[in-house]
Structure 1
Amino acid sequence: MQPAVLPEQRPLDVVILAAGQGTRMKSRLPKMLHPLLGRPLVLWSVRLAQQLGARDVVVVTGHGAQQVEEALHSSGVQFARQDQQLGTGHAFLTAAHRLRGGADVLLLYGDTPMLPLATLQNLLSAHRVGQHALTVLTSELPDASGYGRILRGESGEVLSIVEEKAATPAQKAVREFNSGVYVMDAAAPVLAGRITNHNAAGEYYITDLVSLYQQGGARVAAFKIADPGEVMGANDRVQLSQLETIMRRRVNEAHMRAGVTLQDPATTLIHDEVVIGPDSVIGAGVHLLGQTVLGEGVVIGPYSVVQDSTLEAGSLIHAHSVVQGARVAGGGDIGPFARLRPGTVLEAGVHIGNFVEIKNAHLHAGVKAGHLAYLGDVTVGQQSNIGAGTIIANHNGMDKQHTTIGSGVFVGSNSTIVAPRTLGDASFVAAGSTVTADVPEGAMAVARGQQRTLEGWSRRYWKGFGDRVAVKLPWLAGWLSRQH
């Protein structure tokens, strides 16, 4: 005889309903793919399911199914297509065919991203400890219009869930509402096949599972949470904006309590997967996006954007800089108005000044590029100096070419290095040069036309315009009158 499986040892499967059209979004983009704090709506629910340790996650798709499935293709979930939207019961049954059985089943929605992981953990625990067949997540509102109402018995058990359109005036006065989130035992997929559409809307309601369980003598319970905002959904862009505001505040407050200074939290946008070390200071209007990691004591000036980048301890990003897909070692000093593009690696103590753009480049320790430069597809050795106006001409019209600049190299202002080139250690490039050949170690390259000075040229030139100069440029006419 096999030993009984304890409730806490049962596997968990999660079904996420994401087939709705979302007409109130007024968008060609499926509702489930509208971004919230950098992540599509539906991916918040997928992430919760995975954090719960779900065995299988089945996402029910419908409107925009192909787009939704493509967006989630690498997330490890399964898909069930609901070609006709015939109600929540029908959607659940569509997913039930994908489940292996023998597990508790959690039902979530793709447009309710506010649910904390702890709430779902507590819901699951209450369901299993109480040995309930079905547990519905509920909350209370002063006016629960639009929601199904929870009708309880004398001992607190759930007798039924009444939809708004079918509720009596007395039932509409009930403040406890159905969130639509359920935990069910392994019988749910089988019982779902017995749901009918004998109602005014002609739809299959998942709430009918309550009576189906009760007919078999099973207990249905409710798990009520204090904050109804946790089950808040996004039906239009106004609600989506409200969710974003709440989520931003949650994330920002968590960082501040962990030792990060946000100089103006109301204007600071931080995606929830961003990691920030203590004693970092984040200026007003800063956006920290994607898979960004900040070490201890990083300072980011106002209105900078850092995306999918790593800034090691002590890095300084001045105002209005953009850092994307880059790694900056400790002591890096970037900006203001600098741009680090994907593939940029800056070693310790590198200084990148105003209006410098770097892409797919590796700058070793102590390199300085202070002003108005473009460094693309280049490796620069330690302690080299890149003068103002320097450009690495890395594209020949068809392909990108790589340039190697050695250590201790001095590149004069307003120089162009035509890739692919190699500049040896301790070499010099004279200001204004266009370098089209390699420069040996310790050598100096001068690649510019020889200057000629033509005395008296200006006087002869302007006098050719006669009286027009006196009319349009009187200051110049005065200067010409003084010339001999």
Structure 2
Amino acid sequence: MFEVVVLAAGRSSRFKTGIPKVFHRLLDKPILGYVLDTIECIEPDRIYVVINPSMESEASKLFGNKFHWVCQQEPLGTGHAFQQVLPHLQEDSYVLIVTGDSPLLSADILKRAKLLAERELVIVTADMENPKGYGRIVRDHNGTVTSIVEDCDANESQQTITEINSGIIGGPANLIAELLRGATHANSQNEIYLTEIARLAADRGEKVHTVAVGDPMEVLGINDRSQLAEVEQILLNRCRHEVMLAGTTLRDPLRFDLRGKLKTGIDCTIDVNVIIEGEVTLGDRTYIGPGCILRDVKIGDDVSIQAYSILDSAIVGNRCSIGPFARIRPDTDIGEDSRIGNFVEIKNSKLGKRVRASHLAYLGDATLGDNVNIGAGAVTCNFDGQSKHETMIGEDVFIGTNSTLVAPLYIEAESFIAAGSTITHDVKERALVVGRSRQRSIKRWNPPSRRKK
């Protein structure tokens, strides 16, 4: 049986945070999520994740019961962490032990290590130009691995070694357990190091195989927020490259943030400082202007989203124009050929085809037919202080400037609401409704400021 153990119980002291390190987010998911996704690609029979007591409730919320969570009650080192899993492992299993803070790991390197781990000890290594912070692989004159020395315990000569331990170690579970029984606390941290098994194996004549990664970036660990930002930029650059290869123009790739999943049609253009979150789909020839935020939206063909618009959990039909400075909130569906202009907010509404709301309007909990015009300053009053109510507007309706539509309300087709009206009752088909005070002119008005005292 093939099992994987993920070591994720670190206390994150260098992060200076109340959140466990591996729960900090990279783009759209926690650091640990990347590691677990990669491990699943190599199809282990079981995945165990070692965590500390403060992580138990949050781990279940984030990842559910898909994995086996094992708690390390005291921070006594990586070797001790693995020992907590031993009672759960199958007697004949072979394991890969992986650190939970290496989100750039590829499935390929894990597959290569897995092939050796079934019968022998294997360590995944990398050659790093700057190995500071990583354990060094010590070899004898024949090139045989004799030990792994942690950075904090390395002497001056050992610190010049550039071959480092990635944190991935594999082998038969029984062999690793047996070797760890000989491990000591004789180090600067007074902990049981998992890396001790390299020395212990060499002492008893066991061969330790190494598998080298082609790109050292694969095994970059994250120990502080600076390294978190560094790894996030690596992930972002990969995403940007994939987006451009798919046929989308990025005006400035370094100023595009993809924090979720993006599917694009042909000849799309994304301007600077755009943020994509959740699952976003762009149709053919769609333009996204500078400073826009798109979250879980589906956008049709030939759509223009102008600068600084925010769209969240919405659908936009073909040939629509949105913005600038528009806010489209969740559960909104905008029909084809519609125009939603600057400073228009729409929430939980369904708009038909060719709807115009060109500026300064609010539509909440509304259903609009085709060819509706919403004048500047028009609002739906959907909340009475306790409950939300719906406004229904039929086809070919004209809503004049500065109209107030008090829900619940039904305005039938081809009606005309005069500017400045407050509408509180349903409107019949083809009606002209004027709901405002009659204008009065007071001649020779003497303002208070001009009156004699």
TM-score by length of 2: 0.91
Contact 1:316–1:334 at 8 Å: present in 2 too? yes
Contact 1:286–1:305 at 8 Å: present in 2 too? yes
Q: Deviations over 1:401-443 (max 9, x none)?
A: 1222122221111111111111112222221111111112222
Aligned twin of 1:353 = 341
Matched, 1:222 2:216: no
Structure 1 CA distance for aligned equivalents of residues 117 and 173 of structure 2:
15
SS in 1 for 2:98: strand
Which of 6, 14, 34 is equivalent to 1:24?
Answer: 14
Contact 1:133–1:219 at 8 Å: present in 2 too? yes
Aligned twin of 2:442 = 454
Which of 412, 427, 434 is equivalent to 2:422?
Answer: 434
Contact 2:109–2:213 at 8 Å: present in 1 too? no
Which of 148, 162, 179 is equivalent to 1:175?
Answer: 162
Structure 1 CA distance for aligned equivalents of residues 283 and 92 of structure 2:
45
Contact 1:105–1:184 at 8 Å: present in 2 too? yes
Which of 252, 257, 280 is equivalent to 1:292?
Answer: 280
Matched, 1:164 2:157: no
Contact 1:132–1:218 at 8 Å: present in 2 too? no
Matched, 1:107 2:94: no
SS in 1 for 2:384: coil
Letter matched to residue 171 of structure 1: Q
Bigger mean CA deviation after superposition, 214-223 or 420-429? 214-223
Cα deviation for residue 317 of structure 1 reads: 0.6
Cα deviation for residue 94 of structure 1 reads: 1.9
Q: Alpha carbons of 1:364 and 1:94: their partners in 2 closer, same or farther (altered >3 Å)?
A: farther
Contact 1:191–1:209 at 8 Å: present in 2 too? no
Aligned twin of 2:315 = 327
Letter matched to residue 99 of structure 2: Y
Q: Deviations over 1:57-104 (max 9, x none)?
A: 222211631454144243722211111011001112223434456554
Q: Alpha carbons of 1:154 and 1:80: their partners in 2 closer, same or farther (altered >3 Å)?
A: same
Structure 2 CA distance for aligned equivalents of residues 419 and 215 of structure 1:
82
Which of 39, 43, 50 is equivalent to 1:53?
Answer: 43
Matched, 1:139 2:126: yes
Q: Alpha carbons of 1:80 and 1:192: their partners in 2 closer, same or farther (altered >3 Å)?
A: farther
- Structure 2 matches for 1:331-480, cutoff 5 A? 331-457=319-445, 460-461=446-447, 464-466=450-452
Aligned twin of 1:248 = 236
Of structures 1 and 2, the larger Rg is shown by: 1
Which of 197, 210, 215 is equivalent to 2:198?
Answer: 210
SS in 2 for 1:274: strand
| Identity level (%) | 37
Structure 2 CA distance for aligned equivalents of residues 425 and 373 of structure 1:
20
Bigger mean CA deviation after superposition, 313-322 or 196-205? 196-205
- Structure 2 matches for 1:178-189, cutoff 5 A? 178-187=165-174
Letter matched to residue 49 of structure 1: I
Cα deviation for residue 176 of structure 1 reads: 0.6
Aligned twin of 1:476 = none
Structure 2 CA distance for aligned equivalents of residues 132 and 232 of structure 1:
27
Between Structure 1 and Structure 2, the one with more strand by share is 2
Bigger mean CA deviation after superposition, 12-21 or 400-409? 12-21
Aligned twin of 2:84 = 94
Structure 1 CA distance for aligned equivalents of residues 179 and 363 of structure 2:
62
Cα deviation for residue 451 of structure 1 reads: 1.7
Q: Alpha carbons of 1:366 and 1:237: their partners in 2 closer, same or farther (altered >3 Å)?
A: same
Q: Alpha carbons of 1:52 and 1:293: their partners in 2 closer, same or farther (altered >3 Å)?
A: farther
Structure 1, gaps ≥5 residues long: 1-10, 468-484
Structure 2 CA distance for aligned equivalents of residues 97 and 329 of structure 1:
57
Cα deviation for residue 372 of structure 1 reads: 0.6
* Number of corresponding residues: 452
Structure 2, gaps ≥5 residues long: none
Structure 2 CA distance for aligned equivalents of residues 341 and 195 of structure 1:
61
Structure 2 CA distance for aligned equivalents of residues 373 and 189 of structure 1:
67
Structure 1 CA distance for aligned equivalents of residues 87 and 280 of structure 2:
39
Letter matched to residue 305 of structure 2: I
Q: Alpha carbons of 1:255 and 1:157: their partners in 2 closer, same or farther (altered >3 Å)?
A: farther
Structure 1 CA distance for aligned equivalents of residues 179 and 442 of structure 2:
95
Q: Alpha carbons of 1:42 and 1:420: their partners in 2 closer, same or farther (altered >3 Å)?
A: same
Contact 1:93–1:192 at 8 Å: present in 2 too? no
Contact 1:195–1:205 at 8 Å: present in 2 too? no
Letter matched to residue 15 of structure 1: V
Q: Deviations over 1:252-294 (max 9, x none)?
A: 1221122211101121111253333332111011111122222
Structure 2 CA distance for aligned equivalents of residues 47 and 285 of structure 1:
29
Structure 1 CA distance for aligned equivalents of residues 429 and 359 of structure 2:
25
Cα deviation for residue 389 of structure 1 reads: 0.9
TM-score by length of 1: 0.86
Q: Alpha carbons of 1:386 and 1:62: their partners in 2 closer, same or farther (altered >3 Å)?
A: same
Which of 136, 139, 145 is equivalent to 1:149?
Answer: 136
Contact 1:92–1:192 at 8 Å: present in 2 too? no
SS in 2 for 1:456: coil
RMSD, aligned α-carbons: 2.6
Structure 1 CA distance for aligned equivalents of residues 397 and 243 of structure 2:
42
